[in-house]
Amino acid sequence: NSAGYFAGEGMDYIDLFIGQEGTLSIIAEAQLSLSTMPYKIFSSFVFFKNTLDAWSFAAEARCSSALSIEYFDVNALKLLKSKSSNVPPEAIGAIFFEQELTERGEESIVDGWLKTISKHNASLDDTWVAMTPEKCEEFNQFRYSIPESINDIVRHTGMPRLSTDIAVPEERLLEMMNFYVDTLTACGIEHVIFGHIGECHLHVNLLPKNEIEHKRSGDICLAFIKKGVSLGGTVSAEHGIGKTRREYLEEMYGRQGIIEMARIKKALDPNWILGLDNIFPKEILSMTDSA
């Protein structure tokens, strides 16, 4: 959750300042610790002919010790196919995952994943596997090509994309995914769904071609926000609120919740110096005295 100021029992200043987006302070110094490099990373692209198989594979993978689990819908795969002719032509969904290996358990871990892949109706012959640092980096560059391709489409059409950053509880993810698919299929606007399905956190990108589609895309994104919130989710799982998602934050907390956040800012930044208009509009600050 990176949606506004955190508040909860037992919280401390770190909890508050992590999500403040420059509105409460300037962080001048931070002390970091580094994790030990793993012995080896095993990563894989698994391709599916059925969307539900991809989702069920991701659900089982979520119970493992995977480092990351990423999803690519059929439109994301179309973008990937332009980068590689090796993407199976019949695939309509894919999961990318990474798993840390240990020297003793390497073989059994890999065998376990291969059994899980087969269990969810994916072909091992069409599954890509990387077990060297060089191949893992190649896979990472391949997955990162999706946002680059989306940016190319935006430059070509001249219309800005609209995207979401919603995460929902694990037990509500399937409902949210079906809502995405049903809504986007009905609207007919070009779109791409990809992202962190292991954290129940997908990025939906709408790519309108004209002003009419752009307005409809805004309405669709708001419908996604309301659905996500109704399922107990967050409007921003990783990218924060900034100045563009303020409307979404109010859907999550209500006007009174936003005013309470503004009170915190006013207490720590009484002269309204830092990060104005981030998280909530500066006009909200003037409401804190009377609210």
Across the chain, which has 291 residues, the per-10-residue mean pLDDT values are 87 89 90 90 95 97 94 95 88 95 87 95 94 91 90 91 95 97 95 96 95 95 97 93 90 93 93 92 80 49
Q: What are the residue ranges of helices labelled H in the chain? A: 13-18, 51-61, 74-81, 106-119, 133-157, 173-187, 211-230, 246-268
Which positions ≥6 away from 144 have C-beta within 8 Å? none
**Packing angle of the helix pair 211-230, 246-268 (nearest 10 deg):** 70
User: So what's the pLDDT on residue 22?
Assistant: 92
User: So what's the pLDDT on residue 82?
Assistant: 86
Report whether 204 contacts 191 (CB < 8 A).
yes
User: So what's the pLDDT on residue 129?
Assistant: 94
Identity (one letter) of the amino acid at 86?
A: N
User: So what's the pLDDT on residue 286?
Assistant: 83
Q: What is the pTM of this model?
A: 0.90
